[in-house]
Structure 1
Amino acid sequence: MKNFLSTLAIALLFSCQNNAQVNNKQQAVIDADPIEVPLENGKAKAYFASGCFWCVEAVFESVNGVDESISGYAGGHTKNPTYESNSYGRIKDHAEAVEIIYDPKVVSFKTLVDVYFASQNPTQVNGQGPDKGYQYRSIIFYQNDTQKKIIEEKKAALAKELNATIAAEVYPFQKFWVGEDYHQNYERLHPNQGYIRSVSVPRLNRFKAKMPEVLKNNH
Protein backbone atom coordinates (compact mmCIF):
# COMPACT_ATOMS: atom_id res chain seq x y z
CA MET A 1 0.00 0.00 0.00
CA LYS A 2 2.83 2.39 0.89
CA ASN A 3 4.53 1.66 -2.42
CA PHE A 4 1.26 2.35 -4.23
CA LEU A 5 0.79 5.64 -2.41
CA SER A 6 4.36 6.67 -3.13
CA THR A 7 3.94 5.88 -6.83
CA LEU A 8 0.65 7.79 -6.91
CA ALA A 9 2.22 10.82 -5.24
CA ILE A 10 5.09 10.87 -7.73
CA ALA A 11 2.66 10.53 -10.65
CA LEU A 12 0.54 13.40 -9.34
CA LEU A 13 3.63 15.53 -8.82
CA PHE A 14 4.76 15.07 -12.40
CA SER A 15 1.21 15.64 -13.62
CA CYS A 16 1.01 18.94 -11.73
CA GLN A 17 4.41 19.97 -13.02
CA ASN A 18 3.39 19.18 -16.60
CA ASN A 19 0.15 21.13 -16.25
CA ALA A 20 2.01 24.05 -14.71
CA GLN A 21 4.49 23.97 -17.58
CA VAL A 22 1.70 23.99 -20.16
CA ASN A 23 -0.13 26.79 -18.36
CA ASN A 24 3.05 28.85 -18.14
CA LYS A 25 3.65 28.41 -21.87
CA GLN A 26 0.09 29.43 -22.65
CA GLN A 27 0.27 32.42 -20.33
CA ALA A 28 3.40 33.57 -22.15
CA VAL A 29 1.39 33.62 -25.39
CA ILE A 30 -1.34 35.71 -23.77
CA ASP A 31 1.19 38.15 -22.25
CA ALA A 32 3.35 38.58 -25.37
CA ASP A 33 3.64 41.76 -27.40
CA PRO A 34 1.51 41.63 -30.55
CA ILE A 35 3.06 41.10 -33.96
CA GLU A 36 1.75 43.36 -36.70
CA VAL A 37 1.36 41.82 -40.14
CA PRO A 38 2.31 44.31 -42.88
CA LEU A 39 0.06 45.06 -45.84
CA GLU A 40 0.77 42.96 -48.92
CA ASN A 41 -0.38 44.35 -52.27
CA GLY A 42 -2.67 46.67 -50.33
CA LYS A 43 -4.33 43.77 -48.49
CA ALA A 44 -4.44 43.33 -44.71
CA LYS A 45 -4.82 40.23 -42.56
CA ALA A 46 -6.92 39.60 -39.46
CA TYR A 47 -7.28 36.55 -37.23
CA PHE A 48 -10.26 35.08 -35.42
CA ALA A 49 -11.25 31.86 -33.64
CA SER A 50 -14.89 30.93 -33.12
CA GLY A 51 -15.65 27.22 -33.01
CA CYS A 52 -15.12 25.03 -36.07
CA PHE A 53 -12.99 26.78 -38.66
CA TRP A 54 -15.12 25.37 -41.50
CA CYS A 55 -17.99 27.53 -40.27
CA VAL A 56 -15.94 30.66 -39.65
CA GLU A 57 -14.16 30.46 -43.00
CA ALA A 58 -17.49 30.41 -44.87
CA VAL A 59 -18.89 33.35 -42.88
CA PHE A 60 -16.01 35.70 -43.61
CA GLU A 61 -15.77 34.71 -47.26
CA SER A 62 -19.35 35.94 -47.70
CA VAL A 63 -18.30 39.47 -46.66
CA ASN A 64 -17.62 42.15 -49.25
CA GLY A 65 -13.97 43.16 -49.19
CA VAL A 66 -12.72 39.79 -47.96
CA ASP A 67 -10.56 38.11 -50.59
CA GLU A 68 -9.90 34.87 -48.79
CA SER A 69 -10.37 33.06 -45.50
CA ILE A 70 -7.83 30.37 -44.58
CA SER A 71 -8.37 27.72 -41.92
CA GLY A 72 -5.61 26.94 -39.43
CA TYR A 73 -4.48 27.23 -35.84
CA ALA A 74 -3.50 30.13 -33.55
CA GLY A 75 -3.43 31.18 -29.94
CA GLY A 76 -1.25 28.40 -28.58
CA HIS A 77 2.37 27.54 -27.97
CA THR A 78 3.03 24.31 -29.92
CA LYS A 79 5.01 24.61 -33.13
CA ASN A 80 3.64 23.01 -36.30
CA PRO A 81 0.27 21.97 -34.85
CA THR A 82 -1.86 19.48 -36.76
CA TYR A 83 -5.56 18.73 -36.70
CA GLU A 84 -4.89 15.43 -34.96
CA SER A 85 -2.61 16.91 -32.30
CA ASN A 86 -4.99 19.78 -31.59
CA SER A 87 -8.40 18.19 -31.95
CA TYR A 88 -8.81 16.64 -28.52
CA GLY A 89 -8.40 19.79 -26.45
CA ARG A 90 -6.56 17.90 -23.71
CA ILE A 91 -4.08 20.69 -23.12
CA LYS A 92 -4.44 24.44 -23.26
CA ASP A 93 -2.98 25.21 -26.65
CA HIS A 94 -4.11 26.39 -30.09
CA ALA A 95 -7.66 27.13 -31.19
CA GLU A 96 -9.07 26.42 -34.63
CA ALA A 97 -8.73 29.83 -36.27
CA VAL A 98 -8.97 31.65 -39.58
CA GLU A 99 -6.73 34.10 -41.37
CA ILE A 100 -8.79 36.75 -43.14
CA ILE A 101 -7.19 38.47 -46.14
CA TYR A 102 -9.13 41.66 -46.83
CA ASP A 103 -9.07 45.04 -48.53
CA PRO A 104 -9.07 47.70 -45.78
CA LYS A 105 -10.38 50.22 -48.31
CA VAL A 106 -13.55 48.16 -48.67
CA VAL A 107 -14.07 46.63 -45.24
CA SER A 108 -12.59 47.83 -41.96
CA PHE A 109 -11.20 45.79 -39.09
CA LYS A 110 -14.00 47.27 -37.01
CA THR A 111 -16.60 45.77 -39.35
CA LEU A 112 -14.82 42.40 -39.29
CA VAL A 113 -15.17 42.40 -35.50
CA ASP A 114 -18.90 43.09 -35.94
CA VAL A 115 -19.08 40.16 -38.37
CA TYR A 116 -17.30 37.99 -35.83
CA PHE A 117 -19.77 38.69 -33.04
CA ALA A 118 -22.82 38.54 -35.33
CA SER A 119 -21.86 35.08 -36.54
CA GLN A 120 -21.66 33.31 -33.19
CA ASN A 121 -23.23 32.78 -29.80
CA PRO A 122 -21.05 35.32 -27.98
CA THR A 123 -21.76 33.90 -24.53
CA GLN A 124 -20.82 30.26 -25.22
CA VAL A 125 -17.58 29.32 -23.47
CA ASN A 126 -15.08 26.95 -25.10
CA GLY A 127 -17.06 26.23 -28.22
CA GLN A 128 -19.80 27.12 -30.66
CA GLY A 129 -22.95 25.05 -31.04
CA PRO A 130 -22.15 21.33 -30.88
CA ASP A 131 -18.38 21.91 -31.07
CA LYS A 132 -17.17 21.99 -27.49
CA GLY A 133 -13.63 22.06 -26.15
CA TYR A 134 -10.68 24.36 -25.55
CA GLN A 135 -9.67 24.07 -29.22
CA TYR A 136 -13.04 25.60 -30.17
CA ARG A 137 -12.84 28.61 -27.86
CA SER A 138 -13.52 32.12 -29.13
CA ILE A 139 -10.54 34.45 -29.56
CA ILE A 140 -10.07 37.78 -31.32
CA PHE A 141 -6.44 38.56 -32.10
CA TYR A 142 -5.13 42.13 -32.14
CA GLN A 143 -1.98 43.34 -33.87
CA ASN A 144 -1.69 46.79 -32.32
CA ASP A 145 -3.22 49.02 -29.63
CA THR A 146 -5.80 50.46 -32.03
CA GLN A 147 -7.20 47.03 -32.82
CA LYS A 148 -7.14 46.05 -29.16
CA LYS A 149 -9.17 49.14 -28.25
CA ILE A 150 -11.74 48.39 -30.98
CA ILE A 151 -12.14 44.81 -29.75
CA GLU A 152 -12.44 45.74 -26.09
CA GLU A 153 -14.95 48.53 -26.76
CA LYS A 154 -17.16 46.30 -28.91
CA LYS A 155 -16.92 43.46 -26.41
CA ALA A 156 -17.92 45.77 -23.56
CA ALA A 157 -20.84 47.23 -25.53
CA LEU A 158 -22.10 43.75 -26.40
CA ALA A 159 -21.82 42.63 -22.79
CA LYS A 160 -23.92 45.62 -21.75
CA GLU A 161 -26.47 45.00 -24.51
CA LEU A 162 -26.89 41.33 -23.62
CA ASN A 163 -26.36 41.80 -19.88
CA ALA A 164 -24.05 38.81 -20.04
CA THR A 165 -20.38 37.87 -20.01
CA ILE A 166 -18.86 37.69 -23.50
CA ALA A 167 -16.80 34.54 -23.91
CA ALA A 168 -14.35 35.76 -26.55
CA GLU A 169 -10.80 36.12 -25.29
CA VAL A 170 -8.54 38.90 -26.55
CA TYR A 171 -5.05 37.75 -27.53
CA PRO A 172 -2.02 39.49 -29.02
CA PHE A 173 -1.41 37.99 -32.43
CA GLN A 174 1.76 35.89 -32.58
CA LYS A 175 1.59 33.39 -35.43
CA PHE A 176 -0.94 31.66 -37.62
CA TRP A 177 -0.33 28.07 -38.65
CA VAL A 178 -2.09 27.18 -41.92
CA GLY A 179 -4.26 24.08 -41.60
CA GLU A 180 -4.20 20.98 -43.73
CA ASP A 181 -5.26 21.26 -47.38
CA TYR A 182 -8.39 19.17 -46.89
CA HIS A 183 -9.79 21.74 -44.43
CA GLN A 184 -9.60 24.66 -46.86
CA ASN A 185 -12.90 25.83 -48.42
CA TYR A 186 -14.49 22.81 -46.81
CA GLU A 187 -18.06 24.10 -46.79
CA ARG A 188 -17.96 25.13 -50.45
CA LEU A 189 -16.38 21.86 -51.57
CA HIS A 190 -18.57 19.56 -49.45
CA PRO A 191 -22.06 21.12 -49.48
CA ASN A 192 -23.82 17.81 -48.83
CA GLN A 193 -21.66 16.65 -45.94
CA GLY A 194 -23.80 16.07 -42.83
CA TYR A 195 -22.09 18.55 -40.51
CA ILE A 196 -22.05 21.23 -43.22
CA ARG A 197 -25.78 20.86 -43.87
CA SER A 198 -26.85 20.66 -40.23
CA VAL A 199 -24.44 23.09 -38.52
CA SER A 200 -22.30 25.17 -40.86
CA VAL A 201 -24.89 26.30 -43.42
CA PRO A 202 -27.51 27.24 -40.78
CA ARG A 203 -24.87 29.26 -38.92
CA LEU A 204 -23.93 31.06 -42.14
CA ASN A 205 -27.57 31.80 -42.94
CA ARG A 206 -28.20 33.20 -39.46
CA PHE A 207 -25.28 35.57 -39.96
CA LYS A 208 -26.51 36.65 -43.40
CA ALA A 209 -29.89 37.53 -41.94
CA LYS A 210 -28.23 39.69 -39.27
CA MET A 211 -25.82 41.64 -41.52
CA PRO A 212 -27.11 41.60 -45.12
CA GLU A 213 -25.53 45.01 -45.76
CA VAL A 214 -21.98 43.59 -45.66
CA LEU A 215 -22.49 40.65 -48.03
CA LYS A 216 -20.98 40.23 -51.47
CA ASN A 217 -23.44 40.57 -54.35
CA ASN A 218 -23.31 36.84 -55.10
CA HIS A 219 -24.34 36.02 -51.54
Structure 2
Amino acid sequence: MTDHKKDKKIEQLTVGCGCFWCIETIYNQIKGVEKVVSGYSGGTVPGKPTYREICSGLTGHAEVVQVTYDANVISYEDLLVIFMTSHDPTTLNRQGGDVGTQYRSVIFYHDDKQKEIAEVIVKEVSSYYENPIVTEISELGEFFEAEAEHQDFYNSNQRRDYCTFVIDPKLAKLKKMHADKLKKQTA
Protein backbone atom coordinates (compact mmCIF):
# COMPACT_ATOMS: atom_id res chain seq x y z
CA MET A 1 0.00 0.00 0.00
CA THR A 2 1.35 3.42 -0.96
CA ASP A 3 1.71 6.08 1.71
CA HIS A 4 -0.05 9.05 0.10
CA LYS A 5 0.89 11.39 2.96
CA LYS A 6 4.47 11.54 1.70
CA ASP A 7 3.15 12.56 -1.73
CA LYS A 8 1.57 15.72 -0.36
CA LYS A 9 3.14 19.15 -0.66
CA ILE A 10 1.50 21.06 2.20
CA GLU A 11 1.51 24.86 1.96
CA GLN A 12 -0.52 27.76 3.38
CA LEU A 13 -2.39 30.77 2.04
CA THR A 14 -3.73 33.62 4.19
CA VAL A 15 -6.34 36.01 2.75
CA GLY A 16 -9.15 38.28 3.81
CA CYS A 17 -12.09 39.63 1.83
CA GLY A 18 -14.83 40.76 4.15
CA CYS A 19 -16.40 38.43 6.65
CA PHE A 20 -14.27 35.32 7.13
CA TRP A 21 -17.37 33.09 7.18
CA CYS A 22 -17.76 33.57 3.41
CA ILE A 23 -14.23 32.81 2.26
CA GLU A 24 -13.91 29.96 4.77
CA THR A 25 -16.97 28.34 3.20
CA ILE A 26 -15.60 28.86 -0.32
CA TYR A 27 -12.21 27.28 0.41
CA ASN A 28 -13.79 24.34 2.23
CA GLN A 29 -15.30 23.35 -1.15
CA ILE A 30 -11.97 23.23 -3.02
CA LYS A 31 -10.08 20.06 -3.93
CA GLY A 32 -6.71 19.88 -2.20
CA VAL A 33 -7.72 22.08 0.71
CA GLU A 34 -6.88 20.23 3.92
CA LYS A 35 -7.99 22.79 6.52
CA VAL A 36 -9.40 26.32 6.72
CA VAL A 37 -9.08 28.35 9.92
CA SER A 38 -10.83 31.69 10.41
CA GLY A 39 -8.78 34.29 12.22
CA TYR A 40 -7.25 37.74 12.34
CA SER A 41 -4.04 39.24 10.99
CA GLY A 42 -2.48 42.54 10.03
CA GLY A 43 -3.19 44.44 13.22
CA THR A 44 -1.10 46.88 15.17
CA VAL A 45 -2.19 46.34 18.76
CA PRO A 46 -0.30 43.90 20.96
CA GLY A 47 -1.80 40.65 22.22
CA LYS A 48 -4.46 38.35 20.82
CA PRO A 49 -7.48 40.34 19.65
CA THR A 50 -11.07 39.27 20.25
CA TYR A 51 -13.88 39.34 17.70
CA ARG A 52 -15.44 42.28 19.52
CA GLU A 53 -12.17 44.22 19.34
CA ILE A 54 -11.79 43.39 15.64
CA CYS A 55 -15.34 44.60 14.94
CA SER A 56 -14.47 47.99 16.43
CA GLY A 57 -12.09 48.53 13.52
CA LEU A 58 -9.53 49.99 15.92
CA THR A 59 -7.02 47.11 16.08
CA GLY A 60 -5.97 47.21 12.43
CA HIS A 61 -6.60 43.49 12.03
CA ALA A 62 -8.48 42.02 9.10
CA GLU A 63 -10.81 39.04 9.27
CA VAL A 64 -8.87 36.38 7.36
CA VAL A 65 -8.67 32.68 6.72
CA GLN A 66 -5.55 30.57 6.79
CA VAL A 67 -5.84 27.77 4.25
CA THR A 68 -3.69 24.65 4.49
CA TYR A 69 -3.61 22.90 1.12
CA ASP A 70 -1.82 20.27 -0.92
CA ALA A 71 0.07 22.12 -3.66
CA ASN A 72 0.20 18.86 -5.64
CA VAL A 73 -3.60 19.06 -5.97
CA ILE A 74 -4.32 22.82 -6.14
CA SER A 75 -1.88 25.64 -6.82
CA TYR A 76 -1.40 28.88 -4.94
CA GLU A 77 -2.24 30.65 -8.21
CA ASP A 78 -5.57 28.83 -8.54
CA LEU A 79 -6.44 29.56 -4.92
CA LEU A 80 -5.75 33.26 -5.51
CA VAL A 81 -7.88 33.35 -8.66
CA ILE A 82 -10.72 31.77 -6.65
CA PHE A 83 -10.14 34.40 -3.94
CA MET A 84 -10.13 37.30 -6.42
CA THR A 85 -13.37 36.11 -8.05
CA SER A 86 -15.19 35.31 -4.79
CA HIS A 87 -15.49 38.92 -3.64
CA ASP A 88 -15.32 42.45 -5.01
CA PRO A 89 -11.63 43.41 -4.82
CA THR A 90 -12.41 46.94 -6.01
CA THR A 91 -14.19 48.17 -2.88
CA LEU A 92 -11.97 49.65 -0.19
CA ASN A 93 -12.66 48.35 3.32
CA ARG A 94 -16.06 47.00 2.37
CA GLN A 95 -17.84 43.85 1.22
CA GLY A 96 -21.58 44.27 0.89
CA GLY A 97 -22.95 45.42 4.23
CA ASP A 98 -19.65 44.77 6.02
CA VAL A 99 -17.77 48.06 6.30
CA GLY A 100 -14.45 48.84 7.98
CA THR A 101 -10.74 48.07 7.70
CA GLN A 102 -11.36 44.65 9.26
CA TYR A 103 -13.23 43.73 6.04
CA ARG A 104 -10.53 44.83 3.61
CA SER A 105 -9.43 42.75 0.65
CA VAL A 106 -5.95 41.49 1.53
CA ILE A 107 -3.45 38.82 0.56
CA PHE A 108 -0.93 38.10 3.31
CA TYR A 109 2.07 36.45 1.69
CA HIS A 110 4.19 33.93 3.59
CA ASP A 111 7.36 34.36 1.48
CA ASP A 112 8.73 36.32 -1.49
CA LYS A 113 7.52 33.73 -4.00
CA GLN A 114 3.92 34.13 -2.76
CA LYS A 115 4.30 37.91 -2.94
CA GLU A 116 5.44 37.75 -6.58
CA ILE A 117 2.61 35.37 -7.52
CA ALA A 118 0.03 37.56 -5.74
CA GLU A 119 1.20 40.64 -7.64
CA VAL A 120 0.95 38.77 -10.96
CA ILE A 121 -2.53 37.36 -10.23
CA VAL A 122 -3.90 40.75 -9.12
CA LYS A 123 -2.57 42.31 -12.31
CA GLU A 124 -3.96 39.49 -14.47
CA VAL A 125 -7.49 39.65 -13.05
CA SER A 126 -7.65 43.46 -13.02
CA SER A 127 -8.88 43.51 -16.62
CA TYR A 128 -12.05 41.69 -15.52
CA TYR A 129 -13.09 44.57 -13.27
CA GLU A 130 -14.40 47.96 -14.27
CA ASN A 131 -12.83 49.71 -11.26
CA PRO A 132 -9.24 49.45 -10.01
CA ILE A 133 -8.41 46.59 -7.64
CA VAL A 134 -7.63 47.77 -4.10
CA THR A 135 -6.54 44.42 -2.68
CA GLU A 136 -3.66 44.92 -0.26
CA ILE A 137 -0.65 42.62 -0.60
CA SER A 138 1.25 42.50 2.70
CA GLU A 139 3.68 40.26 4.49
CA LEU A 140 2.00 37.93 6.98
CA GLY A 141 2.71 38.93 10.54
CA GLU A 142 1.08 37.06 13.36
CA PHE A 143 -2.05 35.03 12.64
CA PHE A 144 -4.56 34.68 15.46
CA GLU A 145 -7.16 31.93 15.33
CA ALA A 146 -10.69 33.28 15.81
CA GLU A 147 -12.97 32.01 18.55
CA ALA A 148 -14.54 28.54 18.20
CA GLU A 149 -17.98 29.87 17.19
CA HIS A 150 -16.42 31.40 14.04
CA GLN A 151 -14.89 28.14 12.81
CA ASP A 152 -16.85 26.15 10.20
CA PHE A 153 -19.60 28.72 10.65
CA TYR A 154 -21.58 27.94 7.50
CA ASN A 155 -21.91 24.23 8.18
CA SER A 156 -23.21 24.96 11.68
CA ASN A 157 -25.53 27.83 10.68
CA GLN A 158 -26.84 27.23 7.15
CA ARG A 159 -30.36 28.35 8.01
CA ARG A 160 -29.28 31.76 9.34
CA ASP A 161 -30.18 34.72 7.14
CA TYR A 162 -26.51 35.66 6.63
CA CYS A 163 -25.78 32.22 5.18
CA THR A 164 -28.87 32.23 2.98
CA PHE A 165 -28.52 35.76 1.62
CA VAL A 166 -24.74 36.28 1.57
CA ILE A 167 -22.90 32.95 1.50
CA ASP A 168 -25.26 30.84 -0.65
CA PRO A 169 -25.00 33.22 -3.66
CA LYS A 170 -21.18 33.13 -3.35
CA LEU A 171 -21.29 29.33 -3.38
CA ALA A 172 -23.49 29.37 -6.49
CA LYS A 173 -20.99 31.69 -8.21
CA LEU A 174 -18.12 29.40 -7.15
CA LYS A 175 -19.87 26.36 -8.62
CA LYS A 176 -20.46 28.22 -11.87
CA MET A 177 -16.95 29.68 -12.24
CA HIS A 178 -14.73 26.99 -10.70
CA ALA A 179 -16.65 23.70 -10.95
CA ASP A 180 -13.49 21.83 -11.97
CA LYS A 181 -11.80 22.81 -8.69
CA LEU A 182 -14.54 21.57 -6.36
CA LYS A 183 -14.40 18.53 -4.12
CA LYS A 184 -16.75 15.79 -5.20
CA GLN A 185 -20.04 16.10 -3.33
CA THR A 186 -21.54 13.00 -1.78
CA ALA A 187 -25.28 12.41 -1.71
Is residue 177 of structure 1 aligned with residue 144 of structure 2? yes
1:160 CA displacement: 3.2
1:159 CA displacement: 2.0
Counterpart of 2:60 (choices 87, 90, 93) is: 93
Q: TM-score, normalised by structure 2?
A: 0.90
CA–CA distance in structure 2, aligned partners of residues 47 and 84 of structure 1: 21
1:158 CA displacement: 2.0
Q: Secondary structure at the match of 2:56?
A: coil
Q: Which amino acid aligns with 1:141?
A: F
Q: Which amino acid aligns with 2:121?
A: K
Cα distance per residue 1:30-49 (max 9 Å; x no partner): xxxxxxxxxxx842111000
Counterpart of 1:158 (choices 125, 145, 160) is: 125
Counterpart of 2:52 (choices 84, 102, 117) is: 84
CA–CA distance in structure 2, aligned partners of residues 92 and 176 of structure 1: 14
Quick check: 188-197 or 158-167, which moved more?
158-167
CA–CA distance in structure 1, aligned partners of residues 27 and 126 of structure 2: 23
Q: Which amino acid aligns with 2:31?
A: N
Structure with a larger share of its residues in strand: 2
On the 8 A contact 2:93/2:101 being kept in 1, the answer is yes
Correspondence for 2:178 = 211
Q: Secondary structure at the match of 2:167?
A: helix
Question: Map of 1:126-145 to 2, 5 A cutoff?
Answer: 126-145=93-112
On the 8 A contact 1:118/1:211 being kept in 2, the answer is no
Question: Where do 5+ consecutive residues of structure 1 fail to align?
Answer: 1-40
Question: Where do 5+ consecutive residues of structure 2 fail to align?
Answer: 1-7
CA–CA distance in structure 1, aligned partners of residues 172 and 128 of structure 2: 23
CA–CA distance in structure 1, aligned partners of residues 155 and 128 of structure 2: 34
Residues 92 and 179 of structure 1, relative CA distance in 2, 3 Å threshold: closer
Q: Secondary structure at the match of 1:44?
A: strand
Cα distance per residue 1:146-199 (max 9 Å; x no partner): 111111111112223435310210010112100000010010111101111111
CA–CA distance in structure 2, aligned partners of residues 208 and 75 of structure 1: 30
Question: Map of 1:51-70 to 2, 5 A cutoff?
Answer: 51-70=18-37
Structure with a larger share of its residues in helix: 1
Q: Secondary structure at the match of 2:21?
A: helix
Would you say how many aligned residue pairs link Structure 1 and Structure 2?
178
Coordinate RMSD, CA, aligned: 1.5
Percent identical residues: 33
Cα distance per residue 1:46-79 (max 9 Å; x no partner): 1000100000100001000001111110111222
Q: Which amino acid aligns with 1:51?
A: G
Q: Secondary structure at the match of 2:44?
A: coil
On the 8 A contact 2:53/2:59 being kept in 1, the answer is no
Q: Which amino acid aligns with 1:132?
A: V
Larger Rg: 1
1:141 CA displacement: 1.1
Q: TM-score, normalised by structure 1?
A: 0.77
